[in-house]
């Protein structure tokens, strides 16, 4: 469970000082696995922290990503989305409703040609298309 205590510990483990803002931002991302954009996070948290600045959200997310606590998902052309899931998985975005779905894939089975000697630090597997629900609505 992601209790406040656990979040504090997790931040500390990643060399991030656990301020209220940081705890709340991480809590939101880890409890809402909807790959939120900066603005979504900001709009939700301003309700709890009325003095919150959007710059803080930007700074904090950058810090989290640098410290390898979260990852950014650039599946949306207009804004960066964030994800607290750290295991290897891809993202499907529905071009009708805009919803993002996670999918699992087996990275080891992919035969990648042309990447010998390349050091991999991050991977994004993004697929676009139409989700089952929107497909049904179209009929």
Binding residues for DNA, rule: CB under 7 A, are 16-17, 19-22, 37-39, 49, 51-56, 58-60, 62, 77-80
54 or 135: CB nearest a second copy: 135
**Using the rule CB under 8 A, is 122 a contact of a second copy?**
yes
3-state class (DSSP) for residue 81: strand
d(CA 44, CA 136): 32
**CB distance 29 to 40 below 8 Å:** no
Task: State how far the Cα of 48 lies from the Cα of 99, in Å rounded to an integer.
Answer: 26
Nearest approach, Cβ of residue 118 and a second copy (Å): 6
* Secondary structure of residue 93 in the 3-state scheme: strand
Shortest Å, Cβ 134 to DNA: 21
Give the interface with a second copy as residue ranges (CB under 8 A).
Answer: 72, 74-75, 77, 80, 90, 92, 95, 101-106, 109-115, 117-132, 135
């Amino acid at each position: 469970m992601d209790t406040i205590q656990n979040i504090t510990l997790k931040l500390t483990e990643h060399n991030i000082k656990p301020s209220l803002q940081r705890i709340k931002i991480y809590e939101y991302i880890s409890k809402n696995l909807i790959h939120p954009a900066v603005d979504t996070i900001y709009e939700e948290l301003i309700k709890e922290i009325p003095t919150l600045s959007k710059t803080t959200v930007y700074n904090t997310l950058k810090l989290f990503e640098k410290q390898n606590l979260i990852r950014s998902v650039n599946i949306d052309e207009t804004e960066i989305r964030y994800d607290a899931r750290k295991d290897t998985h891809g993202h499907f975005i529905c071009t009708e409703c805009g919803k993002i779905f996670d999918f699992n894939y087996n990275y080891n089975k992919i035969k990648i040609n042309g990447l010998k000697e390349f050091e991999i630090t991050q991977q994004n597997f993004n697929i676009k298309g139409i989700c089952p629900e929107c497909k049904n609505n179209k009929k």
